[in-house]
Amino acid sequence: MTKPLSLRWLEVFQLVSKSGSIQTVARESGLSISTVSNHLRSLETALGVELVDHSRRPMALTPAGVVFARYTNEGLIALKQGEAEMRSGSWQHAIDLRVALLDDFDNEIGPELFQTLSTALPRCSFRHYTRPSHEIIEKLQAQKLDAGVATRPLGVLPDLTEYPLMRDPFILVVPSSYSGKTEDLITADAVLPFLRYSRDHTIGKQIETQLNRLKISLPNRFELECNQSIIGLVAENSGWAVTTAASYHRAQRFHDKVKVVRFPGKNFARTVSLFTTNYYPAATSQLIHEIVQKSLHHHFVDPIGRRFPWLAEELTILASSG
């Protein structure tokens, strides 16, 4: 009689096929190295075929392993879709939702989102996180979140579904007392230093990419993670920054001490989107998308457009492609 396949074996095989390392799978799954090896060997024994070339580092799939990995991935995705549908498939029956918001929007969007969701999903338990964009994407890919609002990263995200929310243009923020030319700031010997966003963060990487495209090289004296700290330093005449319209808008307590200037040269913007895992139910995703879009329009697009008419055409709500 053929031995039945264990779901745990299949999950371990999927992880090994992606990472090529039993040690990596053990570290990420919390299992011991010997347990991971035993699960993999048990699967191969049950199938009567070697799925992985154990002599290679990193491990590589055998031809049979390549074929079986395809079916394993499809099967596990189908199971996760089924689980997600049971947990969150319809608004009335959703029971669990793990969602993260980019810290730029948490104060304004968070309360409205969860107030509306608590009414629409009366049986649902919510777990709310506030993280920078790159951590939200990482947690989604590790299946530790169901949905997250984050800046679209530069790379491709094949394991996630994207629902675009807003185009948020980059601008310059300078001290209110600064009366020089914008062009004088983007030189290596500028009077005011450039205040960088951390290049570990998505926004920092996007700014550096654009500066490199324009062949602008600036000294790296200050690199900070916190948006409020950056705008606060600008308010104290300690430097200038490239930020986005929404990030500037959030730092309202510094608005009387800073001023907004167009980014010199070609405009560029970040895209803020709702991301979900590929198997998360579309109905719940679209509900979250609709709520967040309305909040972004009310708290960011409308007030910024009224204050800075020249930004009105650049700061826009986007149609969902999901």
Q: Are 206 and 126 in contact (CB under 8 A)?
A: no
Which residues of the chain does CATH 1.10.10.10 include? 7-87
Summarize pLDDT for 52-98 with one digit per residue, the tens. 887 877 788 898 888 888 888 877 776 666 666 555 545 444 567 89
Q: What is the pLDDT of residue 91?
A: 45
Summarize pLDDT for 175-222 with one digit per residue, the tens. 999 988 888 888 877 889 999 999 999 999 999 999 998 888 888 888
Q: Which two tokens stand for residue 60?
A: 């590589």
Q: What is the pLDDT of residue 159?
A: 82
Top-tier CATH class for 7-87: mainly alpha
Question: How many Cα neighbours within 13 Å face the side chain of 292?
Answer: 29
Phi, psi values for residue 75, rounded to 5° = -70, -40
Q: What is the pLDDT of residue 32?
A: 87
d(CA 260, CA 173): 5
Report which of 244, 108, 228, 100 is spatially closest to residue 166, judged by C-alpha positions.
244
Distance of CA 111 to the CA centre of its chain: 20
Omega into 58 within 30° of 0, i.e. cis?
A: yes
Q: What is the pLDDT of residue 322?
A: 47
| Fold exhibited by the domain 96-158+275-313 | D-Maltodextrin-Binding Protein; domain 2 (3.40.190)
81-89 contacts, C-beta under 8 A, 24 or more apart: 81/279, 84/146, 84/277, 84/279, 84/280, 84/281, 85/281, 88/124, 88/146, 88/280, 88/281, 88/284, 89/281, 89/283, 89/284
Which residues of the chain does CATH 3.40.190.10 include? 96-158+275-313, 168-261
Q: What is the pLDDT along the chain (322 residues), one digit of tens a residue?
A: 456 788 888 888 888 888 888 888 888 778 888 888 888 888 888 888 898 887 877 788 898 888 888 888 877 776 666 666 555 545 444 567 899 999 888 888 999 998 888 888 877 888 899 999 999 999 998 888 999 999 999 888 888 999 999 999 999 999 999 988 888 888 877 889 999 999 999 999 999 999 998 888 888 888 998 999 999 999 999 999 999 999 999 999 999 999 999 988 788 999 999 999 887 878 888 889 999 999 999 999 999 999 999 999 899 999 765 4
Top-tier CATH class for 168-261: alpha beta
